[in-house]
Structure 1
Amino acid sequence: MSGDSHLPKALQGLRIPAVASPLFIISVPALVIAQCKAGVIGSFPALNAREAEGESPLLDAWLKEITEELDRHNQENPDKPAAPFAVNQIVHRSNTRLERDLEICVNWKVPVWITSLGARVEVNEAAHSCGGIALHDVINNKFAKKAIEKGADGLIAVASGAGGHAGPQSPLALISEIREWFNGPLLLSGSIATGDSLLAALAMGADLGYIGSPFIATDEANADQGYKDMIVDSSAEDIVYSSLFTGVWGNYLKGSVKNAGMDPDNLPDGDVSTMSFGSDREKPKAWKTIWGSGQGIGAVKSQGTTEDLVSRIEREYHAAYARLQDRMAV
C-alpha cells in the first residue's frame, strides 16, 4: 500500500489510517488516551470539558492529563508510541467559550485541531501558532472550498450515514468532487465501522477514515450503559435522520427517540436558528437521552475495550486488502 509521507507528520505512522471522531459527552480523557495508545488519533470536543461556575477551566485539566499520560506511555514504549490527539472546536457564534478554549489549546500545543460548524481564519491561525494542523468537517464541496480558502490544512468529508450531524451526499460523490481540486489531507466520515469500509474509504481517494459510533460501545466511553447496549443491538435500519434536535440534520438511534416518547417516523423539522452551544442553552428534558449514531453500527456485535475495537478493524483492514490484491491479480 502507498505510504503516508505526503501527509502532515501528525497524521503519519498510525496503526491504521484512522481518526476517532469527537463524540458529544462520550469522548473524555480515558477514551482519548485509550484511542491514542491503540494507535489511532483520539479526539474530544472542547465543550465536553464543562466545569462548574467559578471553577478552573476543566479543559486545561483534561489536556494536562492527556498530554502527561501519553508522554509517560511514549517514554515507556519508545518502539510503540501513542498516536497524537485532537481537540474539536465548535466554531459557531453561540459558543461563547471559543476564544478561551483556543488559548488553552495553544498553551498545550494541541497537535490536531478539528473545527466544526463554521470556518474561521483566526482558529486556523491559532492551530498553526503552536505547530498544530487544522482539519475542518464539511458536508459538501462548497463548504470544502471555503474551509481551505480560510486556512484549513485538511478536510473531513462528512457523508451520508455518519453519526451525529451528517450530510446527505453519498461518500462516492463527495470524495470525488473534493479530490478534483484538493490534494491535501482528506478524511471520510460515514458508516466506517469495519476494516473493509476503511479500505474502501482509501480506495475512493480519502487518506484516512473518521470513526465514531463504534467507540460508543467501548468500556472507556463515557456513555450510559443503555446507550452502549442499544449500539450493540441496533443496525442501519434503526437510524433516523432528523433536524429536530439541534436544528442541523443528523443521525440518531430510533430506539432512543421512541424512549423519549416521540415517533421516529414522524418527526417535525428543526429550526437552524435555534442551534446554540452556549452555556445557557436550553433543551427539552426529553431530548437528554436522544442518542446519536451512524449507520455502520451493524458491525458492532459486543461491548469491549478500545484496543479490542482497533484490533478488529486492523485485522479486517489487512484481510480486505489481501483479498483485493488476490482479485486484482486474476
Structure 2
Amino acid sequence: MSLPAILKGLRIPAVASPLFIISNPDLVIAQCKAGVVGSFPALNAREAEGEPILLEAWLKRITEELDRHNQANPDRPAAPFAVNQIVHRSNTRLMRDLEICARWKVPIWITSLGARVEVNEAAHSCGGIALHDVINNRFARKAIDKGADGLIAVAAGAGGHAGPQSPFALVREIRDWFDGPLLLSGAIATGEALLAAQVLGADLGYIGSPFIATHEANADPEYKRMLIDSGAEDIVTSSLFTGVSGNYLAPSIRRAGLDPAALPEADADAMSFKDGSAKPKAWKEIWGAGQGIGAVRDIVSAAEVVARIETEYNRARDRMVAAAQQGRE
C-alpha cells in the first residue's frame, strides 16, 4: 500500500476529524502545527445574510498562517488541512463551497453523507485528494466507483454519526479489495488505539473526541467538562436528534429532560442541512462524543493531545516489537 504524498510525513499517523460547531480555524491551525491533519466542516463557517462569506475568510487565514509557520520552521512544517463537505441533497451551499475550496486549493477533501462524482472532480481540479467516510463495505465500493481517492471507515464507537460495525469486520472487508488510503474512526483516543488501527490494516487513525476538550475548540465549557467527567458507559446511540444514528453524551440528554434509555427513533428524512445544521435547534445542547472519552481526563491544548498520543503510540509500538522478539526466542 502506498499513501499519497500529502498523507506522509505526519508526526503521528492521524487525521483530526471535522467536529460540528467545534472545529474552527484556531483548532485546525493548532492541529496542523502539532503535526496532524486538522479539519473542519465547511458548514461550520456560517455568515449572516449580507455579510462576507466566512468560509473564504477561514481558508485565507488557515492557508496564510500555515504558510508563515512553514517559512519560519522549514525543519518542522505543519501538516496539511482538510475541509469536510456534507454531500446531502438538503445542503444548498454545497456547490458554492466546492468552488471556494477549489479556488483556495484545499489539499484534502473529506466527504460525508453521499458520494458524488462532481465533488471528487472538484477536489482533483485543484490537486487535492478526496476521502469519503463510510459505515459499511457497500458504501465503500460506491465511493471508490465514484472517484474517491480514499476511505474513512466509521466503525462502532465513533462520535457523531457512527456506524454499527466492529472495526475488525469493517476494515477487513474493505481491505479484501481496496489497497488505497484507509482511515479508521471509532474510539481512537489513545496511542494504543492508533497503533491497533494500523495493525488491523488502516493507514491512519481518525481522532475526534479528544480535541473537544482542548483550549482551542469552539465548545461550551460545560461540554468540555462533561466529556472529561464521562466514560464509554455514558455514550448513548440514537437517531432521534438528527434522523441518523449517532453517539451522544447521556448527561446532556438527561439535562434536556429526556431518558437516555428510552429515546424514540427518528426517520432519516428528518435530516436537513438547509440552515447549515443537521441538528434541530431544540437539540442544540445534546452533545456528541465517541466511546474513547475515558482517555480524556483534562482540558489541554491541541498540541498536548497530539504529544500524549504520540508518546503512547511509541511506547505501544516498542512493547509490541519487544513481545514479538521475545516470542521468537
Work out whether the TM-score is over 0.5.
yes
- Higher mean C-alpha displacement, 71-80 vs 273-282: 273-282
1:239, distance to aligned residue in structure 2 (A): 0.2
Q: Hey, which bits of structure 1, 4+ residues long, moved more than 2 A?
A: 280-286
1:87, distance to aligned residue in structure 2 (A): 0.1
Aligned counterparts of 1:120 and 1:282: Cα–Cα separation in 2: 19
Aligned counterparts of 2:111 and 2:152: Cα–Cα separation in 1: 9
Q: Which runs of 5+ in 1 are unaligned?
A: none
- Counterpart contact for 2:135–2:155, Cα < 8 Å: yes
CA spacing shift, 1:107–1:284, aligned 2, 3 Å: closer
2:90 counterpart SS class: coil
CA spacing shift, 1:33–1:275, aligned 2, 3 Å: same
Aligned counterparts of 1:285 and 1:102: Cα–Cα separation in 2: 26
2:243 counterpart SS class: coil
Q: Which amino acid aligns with 2:142?
A: K
Aligned counterparts of 1:99 and 1:281: Cα–Cα separation in 2: 17
Aligned counterparts of 1:288 and 1:115: Cα–Cα separation in 2: 23
- Counterpart contact for 2:242–2:278, Cα < 8 Å: no
Does 2:117 align with 1:131?
Answer: no
Indicate the residue corresponding to 1:180 in structure 2: 176
Q: Which of 256, 264, 267 in structure 1 is aligned with 2:263?
A: 267
Aligned positions of 1:18-33 closer than 5 A: 18-33=14-29
1:279, distance to aligned residue in structure 2 (A): 1.8
Does 2:198 align with 1:198?
Answer: no
CA spacing shift, 1:280–1:236, aligned 2, 3 Å: closer
1:286, distance to aligned residue in structure 2 (A): 3.7
Indicate the residue corresponding to 2:228 in structure 1: 232
- Counterpart contact for 1:260–1:286, Cα < 8 Å: no
Does 2:325 align with 1:301?
Answer: no
1:288, distance to aligned residue in structure 2 (A): 1.0
- Counterpart contact for 2:44–2:276, Cα < 8 Å: no
Aligned positions of 1:71-110 closer than 5 A: 71-110=67-106
Aligned counterparts of 1:58 and 1:327: Cα–Cα separation in 2: 51
Aligned counterparts of 1:270 and 1:77: Cα–Cα separation in 2: 50
Aligned positions of 1:1-330 closer than 5 A: 6-279=2-275, 285-330=281-326
| TM-score for the superposition, normalised by structure 2 | 0.98
**Deviation string for 1:200-250 (max 9, x for gaps)?**
000000000000000000000000000000111000000000000011001
- Counterpart contact for 1:252–1:294, Cα < 8 Å: yes
Aligned counterparts of 2:136 and 2:119: Cα–Cα separation in 1: 21
Aligned counterparts of 1:282 and 1:141: Cα–Cα separation in 2: 24
CA spacing shift, 1:321–1:49, aligned 2, 3 Å: same
CA spacing shift, 1:284–1:124, aligned 2, 3 Å: closer
CA spacing shift, 1:118–1:282, aligned 2, 3 Å: closer
Q: Which amino acid aligns with 1:322?
A: D
CA spacing shift, 1:280–1:140, aligned 2, 3 Å: closer
CA spacing shift, 1:24–1:281, aligned 2, 3 Å: closer
CA spacing shift, 1:35–1:284, aligned 2, 3 Å: closer
How many residue pairs match? The answer is: 326
1:156 counterpart SS class: strand
- Counterpart contact for 2:271–2:279, Cα < 8 Å: no
CA spacing shift, 1:281–1:66, aligned 2, 3 Å: closer
2:189 counterpart SS class: coil
Aligned counterparts of 1:176 and 1:284: Cα–Cα separation in 2: 36
1:109, distance to aligned residue in structure 2 (A): 0.0
% identity of equivalent residues: 74
2:284 counterpart SS class: helix
1:55, distance to aligned residue in structure 2 (A): 1.2
1:274, distance to aligned residue in structure 2 (A): 1.2
CA spacing shift, 1:52–1:81, aligned 2, 3 Å: same
